[in-house]
Amino acid sequence: MSAWNQSLDAAGIREPELRRDYDTQRKLVARFRRAPYLAARLLLPRPVLPHVVAATAVMHHGDNLLDSGPKARRASAWASWEQDVRKALDAGVSDDPLIRTLLNTAEAYPRLREVVEAYLSTATAELEFAGFATEADYQAYVDAYSLPAFLLVASLLGPESDDGQFRSGCRTFIDGSQRLDFVNDLAEDIPEGRLGIPAETLERFSATVEDLAEGRESARVRELVEHQIEAARASLRAARELPALTANPSGALLDAVVEIELLTADAALTRGARLLRGSASPPVVSTLRVLLGARRKARTER
């Protein structure tokens, strides 16, 4: 029996059609979010893995609906899917394989329902995103979209009852991770008219959108990029406390995720203004070292 089938058994997912639904999501996540999927396979307890895969698939599907195509089409597609999910949550049934896995996972983790409803309520912040005037606008985007999307998965890894510390730790992490994504993806985002660095921050460093669009690696652009990466690193370092707040073995995955984001930040800092020509990735050897170290730690704690 494969490790995946053993995970389905351990999670109590035995009905053949539902197993196929979960396997469909596994294949999708393995294709489009391969690194996080491999980390989850390596580090999560077997009963948790299928549910994290399902939640990741929901997050990925939402990203695609909100990001792909003309705005009117994206808005229509999102509204239709949001309605389908809300109806399914009320009725407890769905014809959609992805939503069926979501319903089953929400049954196994009742706290997920509230997380999903919060995500659906504010996710259109991504649909409306066209840049930020101020740092406060960026923080509002994190609260409305980045954090609710991250919590789709993170809520499955956290404690059964959260006094607010775990959510706060997630907020710290996603602030750093989202800021890092925006600066690391400059070469991809700028041609699409998506700039995640606030206009007031550009002004503070006497940099312009034109400087970035034309790939000018000037001193002011270098300072701007370094400032954004250092701000991201500060949040990510503070998020090292997050794994301990899970109070369960699933913290090993969050530990690895935080450390790999820090490796990515280091690589981005080394690349500097050359991020205008392409993103940075964490070194493969260092990433493997993080994953293997997290696996050893997880085995010791189980």
pLDDT, tens digit, 9 for 90 and up, residues 115-169:
999 999 999 999 989 899 999 999 999 999 999 999 999 999 999 888 899 999 9
97 and 146 together in one domain: no
Distance CA 23, CA 117 (A): 25
Burial environment of residue 215 by CB neighbours within 10 A (0 to 12, 13 to 18, 19 or more): middle
The average pLDDT across 262-280 equals: 97
On the question of pLDDT at 244 being above 90, the answer is: yes
pLDDT at 297: 81
Q: Is residue 46 part of a domain?
A: yes
On the question of pLDDT at 190 being above 90, the answer is: yes
227 and 171 together in one domain: yes
Q: Is residue 118 part of a domain?
A: no
30 and 179 together in one domain: no
194 and 249 together in one domain: yes
Structure tokens that stand for 2 in this block: 């494969």
189 and 246 together in one domain: yes
- Let me know: does 54 contact 23? Beta carbons within 8 Å: no
Q: Where does the pLDDT of residue 236 fall: very low under 50, low under 70, confident under 90, or very high at 90 and above? A: very high
* Residue 258 amino acid letter: V
Q: Is residue 274 part of a domain?
A: yes
Distance CA 292, CA 119 (A): 33
Q: Is residue 146 part of a domain?
A: yes
Least confident of 24-38, 87-101, 221-235: 24-38
103 and 147 together in one domain: no
CA dihedral 207, 192, 279, 208 (to 10 degrees): 0
Q: Is residue 167 part of a domain?
A: yes
CATH code at 286?
1.10.600.10
Return all residues near 4 (Cβ < 8 A) that are at least 6 apart. Answer: 23, 26, 49
pLDDT at 36: 86
On the question of pLDDT at 301 being above 70, the answer is: no
- Let me know: does 169 contact 241? Beta carbons within 8 Å: yes
Q: Is residue 299 part of a domain?
A: yes
User: Of 109, 139, 164, which closes a domain?
Assistant: 109
pLDDT, tens digit, 9 for 90 and up, residues 197-224:
999 999 999 999 999 999 999 999 999 9
pLDDT, tens digit, 9 for 90 and up, residues 245-258:
998 889 999 999 99
206 and 251 together in one domain: yes
67 and 210 together in one domain: no
Q: Give the chain's mean pLDDT.
A: 95
Q: Is residue 95 part of a domain?
A: yes
User: Which range marks the domain in which residue 261 is found?
Assistant: 129-302
> Cα Rg for the chain, rounded, in angstroms?
20
68 and 134 together in one domain: no
On the question of pLDDT at 42 being above 80, the answer is: yes
Distance CA 124, CA 66 (A): 7
Give the H/E segment covering residue 76.
Answer: helix 71-91
Q: What b/e sequence results for 228-237 when a residue is b if at least 16 CB atoms lie within 10 Å of its CB, and e otherwise? A: bbebbbebbe
Please spell the DSSP secondary structure of 269-284, one letter per residue: HHHGGGGGG------H
Number of domains in the chain: 2
pLDDT at 143: 98
Q: Where does the pLDDT of residue 302 fall: very low under 50, low under 70, confident under 90, or very high at 90 and above? A: low
* Residue 57 amino acid letter: A
CA dihedral 144, 150, 152, 153 (to 10 degrees): -170
189 and 300 together in one domain: yes
Please calculate the CA angle 110-119-243 and round it to the nearest 5 degrees: 65
52 and 155 together in one domain: no
Distances (CA, A) of 31 to 24, 26, 197, 232: 11, 9, 30, 27
Return all residues near 16 (Cβ < 8 A) that are at least 6 apart. Answer: none
The average pLDDT across 281-301 equals: 89
pLDDT at 34: 84
155 and 244 together in one domain: yes
Q: Is residue 297 part of a domain?
A: yes
pLDDT at 125: 94
